[in-house]
Structure 1
Amino acid sequence: MKAILTLTLAAVLTAATALPAWAQNAAQIARVRGGASCPGCNLFQGDFSGLEARGLNLSGARLRQADLSLAVMNRTRFSNTDMRDVEAYGGVFSSANFAGANMTNASFVGAYLDGAAFPGATLTGANFSGASLQRATGLTQGRLNQACGDEATRLPRGLSIPHC
């Protein structure tokens, strides 16, 4: 009997550790979809496509694999946010703050990012093809060399980006 109990307990513990520790939080995603700030929230794989919400505070949130396509999120704070693998096609992020954000493999194809701040942001594998970053701040040539764009990508004077 003790052996069966031990095996059952081991199976339960194994199953529990196999579950994702950071599955998305539907209530927090709904909150943001409703236009509320949610710093530090778990918005993993959230669908925010077409959202129009300006000036939100999403600092430190987990937005990994979220869909921000065609969203209008001007002046939103994404500082220190996990934005890996985000899809933000055609989004408008004017004067947004991406300081310290991890934007690894994010897609900002055709996005409007004029006036956005990027100090300390990780841009490895990020795609800015057709994006407008003309008045963006905090961009460095070294970080842009890890991202990619195309001939339609607009950057601050003196900076360039490798082609995708």
Structure 2
Amino acid sequence: MSTTPETPSSGPATAADRPALRADCGSCFGLCCVALPFAASTDFAIGKDAGEPCRNLRTDFRCGIHSRLRAEGFPGCTVYDCFGAGQKVSQLTFEGRDWRRHPGTAAEMFAVFPVMRHLHELLWYLTEALTLPAARPVHGALREALRETEHLTLRGAAELRELDVAAHRDRVNQLLLRTSELVRAGIPGKKKNRRGADLIGADLRGADLRGANLRGARLIAANLTRADLTAADLIGADLRDTDLSAADLRRAVFLTQAQLNAAKGDAATRLPTGLTRPEHW
């Protein structure tokens, strides 16, 4: 994993910078299809409890309807991202022992998976923060947080299960907040602060959202067509069914593939390097 800052024109970390933080389903024991619960809704055609295998999970841990998830009523599956936690738990924490052949590992494996997922998400954000030139004043602290978080992911299952991941996340979040402030300060003029705002269905066509704080904003079904989100902080923003057609996201901060997968866009949507245009766009 590279933690070397890039030049100002390089933008967020690319896929090559974060290969271990990309889901490798072929090296995972279908953990997101078993460990996590979901309710029957517009996102999932059926509901299931935590620890219960999805009916679509095959014996080889692959999804039986992977190519038809949206058509079969499972769009929620297409937007989920474990940030590589699945293969880490499967191949490193449990050393390749799957829960089917070793049922005694199941409960602990399913409990560890969401903890690892939180840690890997933090690694994703910390790695991106270290590519942002404006954040150089905190690069030292970010590197230390990155090392600490990576070390936590290497702990044994019992330690991971007992880890106070919320406390660690809070500490890391302070650095990510400072990173956001430094990046957004480079945008001239008054910036919009819509942190946690209810913007469901909002008409933001062509909006100047450069340097905006949109952390945790609920942008469900909002219209951001042609909006400029340069240096906008999007960490935790809910982009389900958000229209990003022709929007400029090239230098948006802390945007994830899962957020893009949940949104709507088109060929004119400008994306950061390292994130891909969802097939359903």
Which TM-score applies when normalising by structure 1?
0.53
What letter matches 1:108 in structure 2?
A: L
Helix, strand or coil for the counterpart of 1:144?
helix
Q: State the number of aligned residues.
A: 92
CA distance, structure 1, for counterparts of residue 269 and residue 190 of structure 2: 19
Post-superposition offset of 1:74: 5.3
CA contact (8 A) 1:79 1:99 kept: yes
The runs of 5 or more residues in structure 1 that have no matched partner are 1-72
CA distance, structure 1, for counterparts of residue 227 and residue 210 of structure 2: 9
The runs of 5 or more residues in structure 2 that have no matched partner are 1-188
Taking the TM superposition and a 5 Å limit, the aligned residue runs for 1:9-158 are 75-158=191-274
Runs of 4+ in 1 over 4 A off after TM superposition: none
Helix, strand or coil for the counterpart of 2:262?
coil
CA distance, structure 2, for counterparts of residue 85 and residue 156 of structure 1: 24
Match of 1:36 in 2: none
Which structure carries more relative contact order (alpha carbon 8 Å, separation 6+)?
Answer: 2
RMSD: 1.5
Residue 160 of structure 1 pairs with residue 267 of structure 2: no
**Pair 1:154–1:74, CA change in 2 (3 A):** farther
**Pair 1:74–1:161, CA change in 2 (3 A):** farther
Post-superposition offset of 1:75: 1.4
What letter matches 1:122 in structure 2?
A: D
1:54-89: CA deviation from partner (whole Å, max 9, x where unpaired) = xxxxxxxxxxxxxxxxxxx95111000000000111
More helix by share: 2
